[in-house]
Amino acid sequence: MGIKFDAIVIGSGQGGNPLTYKMADSGLRVALIEEKHLGGTCINTGCTPTKTMVASAQVAHYVKDANRWGIRASDFAADLPAIVKRKNDVVLRFRSGQEEQAAKRENVTLYRGHARFTGPQTIEVNGESLESDRAFIDTGSRPLIPQIDGIASVQYLTNESILDLEQLPEHLMVLGGGYIGLEFGQMFSRFGSRVTIVHQGSEILPREDQDVASELRKALEAEGIGFLLEAKTKRVSTNGRQITLEFSGSHEPLTGTHLLIATGRKPNTDTLDLDKAGVQVDERGYIKVNGRLETSAPGIWAIGDVKGGPAFTHISYNDFQVIYSNVFEGKELTVDNRIVPYCVFTDPPLGGVGMTEKEARAKGYKLKIGTIPCTNVARAIERDETAGLLKIVVNASNDRILGASTLSADGGELVQILHTLMLADKPYTLLKGAIYIHPTMAEGFFGLLESVKDVN
Q: How far apart are CA 23 and CA 116, in angstroms?
A: 22
Strand partners, 238: 243
Q: How far apart are CA 92 and CA 71, in angstroms?
A: 35
Is 438 tagged catalytic?
yes
What does the buried/exposed string (b/e) look like for 384-413 if buried means 16 or more CB atoms within 10 Å of the residue's CB? ebbbbbbbbbbbbeeeebbbbbbbbbbbbb
Beta strand extents in 14-134 (DSSP E only): 30-34, 108-112, 115-119, 122-125, 128-131
Q: How far apart are CA 376 and CA 289, in angstroms?
A: 45
Beta strand extents in 280-374 (DSSP E only): 300-302, 341-344, 350-354, 367-373
Read off φ and ψ for residue 121, nearest 5 degrees: -130, 20
Catalytic residue, candidates 61, 171, 199, 438: 438
Q: How far apart are CA 188 and CA 22, in angstroms?
A: 39
The alpha carbon of residue 434 and the mean position of all alpha carbons in its chain are separated, in whole angstroms, by 31
User: Exposed (0-12), middle (13-18) or buried (19+): which is 237, by Cβ within 10 Å?
Assistant: middle
Q: How far apart are CA 89 and CA 81, in angstroms?
A: 12
Using alpha carbons, select from 183, 262, 222, 199 the residue that is nearest to residue 388.
Answer: 222
Using alpha carbons, select from 82, 86, 116, 88 the residue that is nearest to residue 11.
Answer: 116
Residues annotated as catalytic are 438
